[in-house]
C-alpha cells in the first residue's frame, strides 16, 4: 500500500492536473465502466472503454452498430464532471486478443518513444497514451511544442497506424494557445 501511495504521489507531482482533477478523472472512468457493464444492450454488443483526462472522455473500442456507440457516448456525456466526449469507437467486429496484446505492446513502445522528447521542462508523465487497434491516442496538458514533438516520436513507432492528438494546450511564455485541440497525424 505504501508503494502504491508513493507511485500515485509521484505521478500527481509531475501531472499538470491538480490532485482533485486526477481523482475526478479516475471516478469518471469507473462510473463509465459501471454504466457500461450494467447495460447488456451495450456491453453485449460492443467492446468499449473510456479514458478520462482533465474531464475529457475518450471512448475507444468496437461496437456492432453506430447506434450502440452513440448511446454509450450519450451515457458518458451525462456523467458528472464530463465536459467533452470524443467517440472514437470503431463500428465492426470486436478485435481479437492478439490485437489487444499488440496494442498493449504499442502503448509501451509509444511511452518509451515519448521519453526521448527533448524539451526543457517536459515530463512524459504528463501524456496519457491509449492504443486501440493500432491507433494511438495522446491526451494531456502540454504546450503546442510538447504535443507536436510527442506525436512525431509516436508516429515513428513501428506498427502505429495513426496518431490522434487530443491534447489540451497550456500557454507558455512563447506560445499562447490555451484551447483544446484534436488532430490526427498519419503514421
**Average pLDDT of the residues in 91-118:** 98
Supply the mean pLDDT for the chain: 90
* Window from 61-75, 103-117, 125-139, 173-187 with minimum mean pLDDT: 173-187
Q: Is the pLDDT score of 185 beyond 80?
A: no
The architecture of the domain spanning 2-91 is: 2-Layer Sandwich (3.30)
Task: Determine the CATH number of domain 97-186.
Answer: 3.30.300
Least confident span in 10-24, 107-121, 168-182: 168-182
* Reported pTM: 0.86
pLDDT in tens, 47-91: 999 999 999 999 999 999 999 999 999 999 999 999 999 999 999
CA distance 75 to 77: 6
Q: According to CATH, where is 3.30.300 located in the chain?
A: 2-91, 97-186
Distance CA 27, CA 45 (A): 24
Residues in the chain: 187
Amino acid at each position: 500500500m505504501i508503494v502504491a501511495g508513493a507511485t500515485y504521489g509521484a505521478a500527481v507531482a509531475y501531472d499538470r492536473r491538480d490532485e482533485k482533477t486526477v481523482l475526478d478523472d479516475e471516478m469518471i472512468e469507473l462510473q463509465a465502466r459501471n454504466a457500461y457493464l450494467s447495460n447488456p444492450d451495450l456491453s453485449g454488443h460492443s467492446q468499449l472503454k473510456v479514458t478520462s483526462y482533465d474531464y475529457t472522455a475518450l471512448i475507444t473500442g468496437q461496437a456492432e452498430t453506430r447506434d450502440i456507440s452513440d448511446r454509450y457516448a450519450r451515457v458518458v456525456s451525462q456523467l458528472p464532471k464530463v465536459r467533452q466526449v470524443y467517440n472514437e469507437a470503431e463500428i465492426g467486429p470486436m478485435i481479437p486478443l492478439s490485437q489487444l496484446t499488440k496494442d498493449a505492446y504499442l502503448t509501451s513502445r509509444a511511452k518509451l518513444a515519448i521519453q526521448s522528447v527533448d524539451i526543457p521542462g517536459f515530463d512524459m508523465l504528463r501524456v496519457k497514451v491509449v492504443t486501440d487497434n493500432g491507433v494511438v491516442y495522446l491526451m494531456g496538458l502540454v504546450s503546442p511544442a510538447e504535443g507536436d514533438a510527442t506525436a512525431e516520436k509516436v508516429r515513428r513507432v513501428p506498427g502505429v497506424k495513426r496518431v490522434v492528438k487530443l491534447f489540451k494546450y497550456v500557454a507558455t511564455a512563447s506560445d499562447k494557445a490555451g484551447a483544446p485541440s484534436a488532430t490526427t497525424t498519419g503514421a
